[in-house]
Amino acid sequence: MTQPFYVSPEQVMKDRADFARKGIARGRSVVVLCCRDGIALVAENPSPSLHKIGEIYDKIAFAAVGKYNEFESLRQAGVRYADVRGYSYDRVDVTGRGLASVYAQSLGAVFTAEQKPLEVELTVAEVGHDVGSDHLFRLTFDGSIADERRFVVMGGAAERVAEAVIGGWSAEASFAEAIQLAAKALRDERTDPTLSLEVAVLDRKSETGRGLRRAFRRISQDELTELLTGPI
């Protein structure tokens, strides 16, 4: 009988982390930023139908980078978790914190127990009454969770895009200004002048403005072109 080689736990974890980081670094970036009107989610995405941004619940949205099949099943699991919770308790009992913690647990479990870690990075965004009460939870492949303020940038060129966003960020920005800032930061990173964006917002005033409990709204391509070229 052959004995397997001994590999130290440190080495196993390091190999897995390197593997996941490599997968994520290939992905295109996503910016999630808080502003006066709510939370804007801007992703570079060449596909108009395979979304990186999705609605989870009334005030909660999801953004991801990495392998599509992996984050798509996490998104669907999140929708199921939120809907079951909202149905068995009440809609207000579904919180971003609860969802983020469930995601952290599943990412952590997969990282340690499965053959390969999930090559994804997620943000769970929850819009509040003002910028101060917004929540942005950033989750990485090993199950680490960080409660971010103001904005989150994920993906291959995250650091450079974040540098571009940090200079222009303002709590008083409208959706148009926030989306323009994110689009500019993403565009500057690329040499290719054509940039396909997927944009959605969590509208802080959805109840008073549109009479809808659900704050999530996708920005259509036409609307986006208008937002990016029109006056601020």
Task: Return residues touching other proteins (CB under 8 A).
Answer: 49, 51, 54-56, 76, 79-80, 83-84, 86-88, 214
% helix, strand, coil for the chain, step of 5: 45, 25, 30
Give the nearest distance from C-beta 180 to other proteins in angstroms: 26
Query: Between residues 142 and 203, which has the closer beta carbon with respect to other proteins?
Result: 203
Residue 3 CB, shortest distance to other proteins, in Å, is: 26
As given in the structure block, the two tokens for residue 79 are 């929708």
Pairing of strands 38-44, 53-57: unpaired
Residue 107: closest CA among 124, 98, 119, 97: 119
CA-to-CA distance for 64 and 106, rounded, in angstroms? 15
Using the minimum distance from each CB to other proteins, give the nearer residue, 83 or 223.
83
**Nearer Cβ to other proteins, position 79 or 176?**
79
Give the nearer residue to other proteins in terms of CB position, either 132 or 211. 211
**Minimum separation from the CB atom of position 204 to other proteins (A):** 20
Cβ 93 to other proteins shortest distance, Å: 14
